[in-house]
Amino acid sequence: MVFNSLTFVVFFAVVLAVHSLPLPWGLKKLNLLLASYLFYAAWNPPFILLLWASTVVDWLVARQIHRQETHTRRKAWLIVSLVVNLGFLGFFKYGSFVLGNWAVLMNAVGVHYRQPEWNILLPVGISFYTFHSMSYTLDIYWRRVGPIPKLFDFALFVAFFTQLVAGPILRTSDLVPQFARPRTATRNQLCWGLALMTFGLFEKVVLADGAFAPVADAVFRAKGPVSSLDAWLGTLAFSGQIFCDFAGYSIVAIGAALCLGFNIPDNFRFPYAATGFSDFWRRWHISLSTWLRDYLYIPLGGNRKGEARTYTNLMVTMLLGGLWHGANWTFVVWGALHGFYLIINHAWINLSRQWFEARAPTGRGRRFLGLLVGRSITFTAVVVGWTVFRSESIRDAMTLLKGMAGLNGFVLPWNWQGHLSRVPESILQMFIFGDTPGFTGGSEVVWLLVLLGMVWIAPNTQEILRRHRPALNWQPEDRVIAAFQKLVWQPTLIWLAIISVGAVISISRLSAVSEFLYFQF
């Protein structure tokens, strides 16, 4: 079941209706737990056994870790949790990848090895709920939280359908305390939640699927090299697609939880307006980046053991973060690329503190120029990274990157020849007229300009609802508040009309169901 389907609309309406009845809190939580299992089982019912196993094992192991007094026994029980969770994840997600690379390695050294067939399906959302569940045993081990008395509450935390299959990745401290007392949305919370769900669906079905996906798919699925114009349009389109797709899912998740009376963390905060790559990862997929920071980077030593160790920890963290996204070398290279970006970012910060701090640009104009340059460099580098992320193979990524560098030539659509008759021949000789899979007219450029406007200027949903703070870790952006003081959600006819139009457009497009991109991770 996906959020952008009529099935989910009916499902959520029923769940919300039952949750609003004057029932005991225990029955309401049971309704949410059963609904969450139904939501997950809609893909493949047997895989719910994995979800149960991960839940029960981590709850029991956490209790044992808490009871042990010696460090050795605590670590032994933690290893049980890690082996079970990472074992499930490794078998189902990376089994075929490991076997395929092992076969290549054996054949490379002259050993004939025939890879066995691997027909294991990937359980949807396994990367997300594994991190949900595993974070609890790690927090218990590090004494960050106390044990959850009831298995029922922990099961609801792991399986809560709003964030089960594609995040945000929650900690028990985010959600479990909210299970302690009855929660039903107020009239205002219900309005805000439905507004967020409408915004999120609009981002997914209208912007991600309708505007950006056709251009991105045409370029990335093209057979053979593509020109510079097509390569850039396709990659920029995918940048818009993955942002609107994943941010749209997160917004729907936050809105659905709010309709039920719960608050979950925000997951995106103007990521393409970041200045520097540390800033980017404070804004993009916030729940994953903070998870990797708290459970991998800091335990490895963080930045406490010298520059060389810091850079090593950054690279290891991003390599594993890239691999978390999928069993393909493209994700590993993408992670390595962002690891390199972060190393350069940290080195530049250290250098600037030593040499340039006293010479920092003064005056509003110079500061703005510096900010513009920093954001432009960051955005361009992130877009280059998406080229590797989206490609099916390293070879395909290199072909597209060559196109972006202009090494595949500059091709314009055939139908442009008649419109460029007045352009000097010396300029036209720089271009070739031919097939352009991504660029068929001017609409692609218009949509890309809209994307950049949304990223750099327009407020996001959290800013529109800033007076009401619908997410747990919401933080204001001063630049947006100053420019859009009046663009705040209010219970007025104008906002009712805006949300109603968005809802009608979004629901009318739900017949063409497509999965969210992050479901494959």
Q: What is the pLDDT of residue 463?
A: 65
- For residues 311 and 435, membership in a common domain is answered with yes
Active site residue 325: yes
Closest by Cα among 244, 245, 211, 217 to 230? 217
Instruction: Summarize pLDDT for 429-484 with one digit per residue, the tens.
Output: 556 665 666 565 566 667 677 766 666 666 666 666 666 666 666 665 554 445 55
- For residues 471 and 355, membership in a common domain is answered with yes
In a domain, 451, yes or no: yes
- For residues 172 and 217, membership in a common domain is answered with no
- For residues 77 and 198, membership in a common domain is answered with no
**How many structural domains compose the chain?**
2
Asked if 75 and 64 count as a contact pair (C-beta separation under 8 A), the reply is no
The three state secondary structure string of 217-263 is HHHHCCCCCCCHHHHHHHHHHHHHHHHHHHHHHHHHHHHHHHHCCCC
In angstroms, what CA-CA distances link 429 with 192, 233, 425?
A: 56, 22, 6
Asked if 154 and 176 count as a contact pair (C-beta separation under 8 A), the reply is yes
- For residues 172 and 228, membership in a common domain is answered with no
Q: What is the pLDDT of residue 352?
A: 73
Phi-psi group of 476: left, alpha or beta (phi > 0 → left; psi -120 to 50 → alpha; rest → beta): beta
- 433, HSE (Cβ side, Cα atoms, 13 Å): 11
> Which of 166, 183, 200 is at the close of a domain?
183
* List 19, 132, 285, 325, catalytic entry: 325
Which run of H or E residues covers position 483?
helix 478-483
- For residues 109 and 59, membership in a common domain is answered with yes
In a domain, 13, yes or no: no
- For residues 179 and 201, membership in a common domain is answered with no
The dihedrals phi and psi of 411, each to the nearest 5 degrees, come to -110, 135
Q: What is the pLDDT of residue 480?
A: 46
Q: Are β-strands 432-434 and 411-413 bridged in parallel, bridged antiparallel, or unpaired?
A: parallel
Global model pTM greater than 0.85: yes
Q: What is the extent of the structural domain holding 398?
A: 192-520
Looking at 176-227, list the stretches that DSSP marks H as alpha helix, in order from N- to C-terminal side: 187-201, 213-220
In a domain, 16, yes or no: no
In a domain, 10, yes or no: no
- For residues 151 and 298, membership in a common domain is answered with no
In a domain, 136, yes or no: yes
- For residues 283 and 142, membership in a common domain is answered with no
Contact residues for 205 (Cβ-Cβ < 8 A; gap 6+): 4, 506, 509, 510, 512
In a domain, 153, yes or no: yes
- For residues 89 and 125, membership in a common domain is answered with yes
- For residues 153 and 133, membership in a common domain is answered with yes
> Which of 183, 205, 220 is at the close of a domain?
183
In a domain, 327, yes or no: yes
Enter the tokens of residue 102: 């092992």
In a domain, 18, yes or no: no
- For residues 258 and 324, membership in a common domain is answered with yes
Residue entry with tokens 């940048």: 239
Q: Could you read off the pLDDT tens digit of each residue along the chain, which spans 521 residues?
A: 788 888 888 999 999 999 999 999 999 999 999 999 999 999 889 899 999 999 999 999 999 999 998 999 999 999 999 999 999 999 999 888 888 888 888 888 888 877 777 777 888 889 999 999 999 999 999 999 999 999 999 999 999 999 888 878 999 999 999 999 999 888 888 888 888 898 888 888 888 888 888 888 888 988 878 877 888 888 988 998 899 888 888 889 999 999 999 988 888 888 888 888 999 999 899 999 999 999 999 999 988 888 889 999 999 999 999 999 988 999 999 999 999 999 999 888 877 776 655 555 555 666 667 777 888 899 999 999 999 999 999 999 999 999 888 877 776 665 565 556 666 666 665 566 656 665 655 666 676 777 666 666 666 666 666 666 666 666 655 544 455 555 666 667 777 787 888 888 887 777 666 666 665 66
> Which of 159, 183, 207 is at the close of a domain?
183
In angstroms, what CA-CA distances link 205 with 36, 209, 248, 342?
A: 23, 5, 9, 33
Q: What is the pLDDT of residue 476?
A: 56
Contact residues for 480 (Cβ-Cβ < 8 A; gap 6+): 270, 458, 459, 460, 463
